[in-house]
Chains A and B, each alone.
Chain A
Amino acid sequence: MNKILIFLEGNARGLHPVGLELISEVITQTKDMNDVTVDALYVGSHLSDDDLLKVKDAGATKFYQILDDSLKYYDTFLYSSNIMSFLNQHEYDVFLIGSTLMGRDFAPRISARLHTGLTADATILQFSQSEQGFLLEATRPALGGNIFATILCTNYKPQMATVRPGVFAIKSQPSSSFEVISVKPNVKEKSPVEILSITPNEVEKIELDKAPFVIAAGRGVQTKFDDLLKIAENCHVEIAASRAVVDARVTSKSRLVGQTGQTIRPKGYVALGISGAVQHLAGMDQSELIIAVNNDPQAPIFNVAHISYICDANKVIDELLALQNA
């Protein structure tokens, strides 16, 4: 039997979708293999019924919960020790974690403690079953997204990887035997880190990953960012930005699409004045319909766009505004 464990990350607002994305992807890939189970592990203070249903729907077999009030907020020590005690009692071939701030905080410590391999920020997962055993090939971008590396961990278990959120789709494929198991939390020892205060960030709530249509502003149109926001008000699109625009402080990081920002796959993605650096493409090239507007016929964005227009993106924004006001 080959077993895969997926870590489900959550916070006060509920489950982070990455855990469900991973369950979906792993099940899709392994459902035709012999005797492979996919379990999920959640650490926190509580889980809503809605979220529980989502886990079931995604298709996990055994769902382990480690719940305690002291686990309400992420803590390296408490989460790592609980995950470690769990892993010491259950053997897995593969352990996958979302490549979030939380995941990238504890996964390396766990892998170091277990003396096993950890691949960071994978965007492609491939599983294979053979006499050599159950193997994960995790592919990840490196050198700022300029190259891809496929990583193996053949001699140690569990083979670990953190996986980028937003790359895989959540599918509904519930398993026939879904079981919820509560695990006793290990919270006797005090953490060396104390939370002194928590303040919500004053950030506009921008849900780029939920918008069906996104218009993205690049360096070429950064002076017209406010015009784009006006356009967005009137036609249910969300406005995103490239790295250059965020670095120029025209808008906040919450709108950043790319290697160091968000990866999104909207139905429509309109790139205005964006040259198409590798780092940006990494965040959007899987969008269903990509329309690019740029003055430079050599702009790399035109390689991934389904529709490519050579003209002044600033003028296009002016025309969009004019058409809306008409």
Chain B
Amino acid sequence: MNILVLVKQVPDISIIKIDPVTNTLIRSGVPSIINPDDLAGVEEALVLKERYGGKVTVITMGPLQAENMIYSLYARGVDEGYLLTDRKFAGSDTWATSNILSSMIKTLPYDLIIAGYQAIDGDTAQVGPQVAEFLNIPQVTHVSKIIEQKNYKLIVEKKYEEETHHLSVNMPCLITTVKSMNTPRLMKADLAMHIENKTVHIIGVDGIIVDQKEIGLQGSPTKVKKTYTKEVIKRSSPIEIEPKEAAMRILSLIK
């Protein structure tokens, strides 16, 4: 089974803080991590590879430093990795990003594409389905479990708010994964130690077939007008109080 996994390196937002003086994000010193939903997808891919044989390839679009992420994925058992990096890709919204990614994917063989449901920085959940659309393949988003592959169809479980569906999707297809679906394996120390035996394919705009007017900032249908942090309002000043008094006041307010 040839599996492609779309991965993204993102800042660890659980550590991000806001500078109380300037009210802007403190971006420096925030470590980068593999987007959790994507890492769950890599884990699913590796499990499928163990079950059915085949190859797991990861693809990411990002700055050059994302190469380190691919090496750490190699240390988990991923076979091959592509880093799409080029100044011309900068400023891409999800449409342009999906355009770039699918242009790369079109050059590779695949039976299944796995993407994380959403990235913790952009929070859009759009790239997976948009890539599926560009490639004209079926999709199931927010998969809770991969059950099996049978007769070149993928059987998956998708949990909606009140019911759970078991679905059979024709392959090749794209699914999006959520971090709650598994506990991703760690790197193997021996694979990490010998990581220099492997290389990452670095691909720029000349390595893919794409209309340069449809990438980057200029190729993005959406543009960011502005970003801002939420004003820290202060509605009340905290007062010290005995628990019994607090409980009485709360009970009276919620009756």
Residues of A within 8 A of B (CB): 11, 13, 73, 76-77, 101, 104-109, 111-113, 115-121, 137, 140-144, 146-156, 191-201, 203, 213, 215, 235, 237, 268, 270, 278, 289-294, 297, 302-312, 315-316, 318-320, 322-324
Closest-by-CB residue of A relative to B12 is A144
Q: A137-B225, A203-B162 are in contact. Are A310 and B240 (CB under 8 A)?
A: yes
Q: Are B133 and A112 in contact (CB under 8 A)?
A: yes
Give the residue of B120, B228, B238 whose beta carbon is less than 8 angstroms from that of A302. B238
The B103-159 residues at the A interface (CB cut-off 8 A) are 120-130, 132-134, 138-142, 155, 159
Q: Are B164 and A201 in contact (CB under 8 A)?
A: yes
Q: Are B222 and A193 in contact (CB under 8 A)?
A: no
Give the residue of A141, A147, A304, A311 whose beta carbon is less than 8 angstroms from that of B243. A311
The distance from the CB of B97 to the nearest CB of chain A, in whole angstroms, is 11
Q: A118-B222, A192-B138 are in contact. Are A147 and B130 (CB under 8 A)?
A: no
Q: Are B162 and A201 in contact (CB under 8 A)?
A: yes
In the complex, per-residue mask of B215-253: 1 if CB is within 8 Å of any chain A CB, else 0:
000001111111111101111111111111011111101
The B65-118 residues at the A interface (CB cut-off 8 A) are 93-95, 98
Closest-by-CB residue of B relative to A120 is B124
Q: Are A309 and B129 in contact (CB under 8 A)?
A: no
Q: Are B241 and A309 in contact (CB under 8 A)?
A: yes
Q: A149-B227, A150-B224, A303-B232 are in contact. Are A268 and B254 (CB under 8 A)?
A: yes
The list of the 6 closest CB pairs from A to B, nearest first, reads A319-B247, A315-B243, A117-B221, A117-B222, A308-B238, A120-B124
Give the size of the chain B interface in residues (CB under 8 angstroms).
76
The distance from the CB of B219 to the nearest CB of chain A, in whole angstroms, is 10
> How many Å lie between the Cα of A237 and that of B255 in the bound state?
9
Q: How many A-B residue pairs have CB under 8 A?
A: 239
Q: Are A195 and B239 in contact (CB under 8 A)?
A: no
- In the complex, besides A76-B139, A193-B140, 20 extra interface pairs with C-beta distance below 8 angstroms are A117-B220, A119-B222, A120-B124, A144-B14, A146-B25, A149-B224, A149-B227, A150-B224, A151-B225, A152-B222, A154-B223, A192-B138, A193-B138, A196-B155, A198-B163, A215-B254, A278-B230, A312-B243, A318-B243, A319-B244
Q: A310-B240, A319-B243 are in contact. Are A201 and B163 (CB under 8 A)?
A: yes
Q: Decide if B206 is an interface residue (CB 8 Å cutoff).
A: no
> How many Å lie between the Cα of A88 and that of B166 in the bound state?
32
Closest-by-CB residue of B relative to A155 is B221
Give the residue of B94, B165, B235 whose beta carbon is less than 8 angstroms from that of A195. B165
Point out the residues of chain B lying under 8 angstroms from A112, CB to CB.
95, 98, 129-130, 133-134
In the complex, per-residue mask of B7-31: 1 if CB is within 8 Å of any chain A CB, else 0:
0000101101010000001000000
Q: Are B251 and A320 in contact (CB under 8 A)?
A: yes
Closest-by-CB residue of A relative to B136 is A113
Point out the residues of chain B lying under 8 angstroms from A111, CB to CB.
95, 126, 130, 221
Point out the residues of chain B lying under 8 angstroms from A77, CB to CB.
138
11 A-B pairs with CB atoms under 8 Å apart are A76-B140, A104-B129, A108-B127, A144-B14, A144-B120, A146-B25, A150-B225, A193-B140, A196-B155, A306-B236, A320-B250
The distance from the CB of A141 to the nearest CB of chain B, in whole angstroms, is 7
> How many Å lie between the Cα of A291 and that of B252 in the bound state?
12
Q: Are B247 and A316 in contact (CB under 8 A)?
A: yes
Give the residue of B14, B139, B161, B234 whose beta carbon is less than 8 angstroms from that of A303. B234
Q: Decide if B169 is an interface residue (CB 8 Å cutoff).
A: yes
Q: Are B13 and A144 in contact (CB under 8 A)?
A: yes
> How many Å lie between the Cα of A106 and that of B126 in the bound state?
9
The distance from the CB of B228 to the nearest CB of chain A, in whole angstroms, is 6
Q: Are A118 and B126 in contact (CB under 8 A)?
A: yes
> How many Å lie between the Cα of A130 and that of B82 in the bound state?
45
Q: Are B173 and A141 in contact (CB under 8 A)?
A: no
The distance from the CB of A214 to the nearest CB of chain B, in whole angstroms, is 9
Give the residue of B159, B167, B246 whose beta carbon is less than 8 angstroms from that of A196. B167
Point out the residues of chain B lying under 8 angstroms from A270, CB to CB.
250, 254
Closest-by-CB residue of B relative to A270 is B250
Closest-by-CB residue of B relative to A190 is B170
> How many Å lie between the Cα of A105 and that of B138 in the bound state?
11
> How many Å lie between the Cα of A144 and that of B164 in the bound state?
27
Point out the residues of chain B lying under 8 angstroms from A76, CB to CB.
138-141
The distance from the CB of B171 to the nearest CB of chain A, in whole angstroms, is 9
Point out the residues of chain A lying under 8 angstroms from B254, CB to CB.
213, 215, 235, 237, 268, 270
Point out the residues of chain A lying under 8 angstroms from B159, CB to CB.
201
Q: Decide if B168 is an interface residue (CB 8 Å cutoff).
A: yes
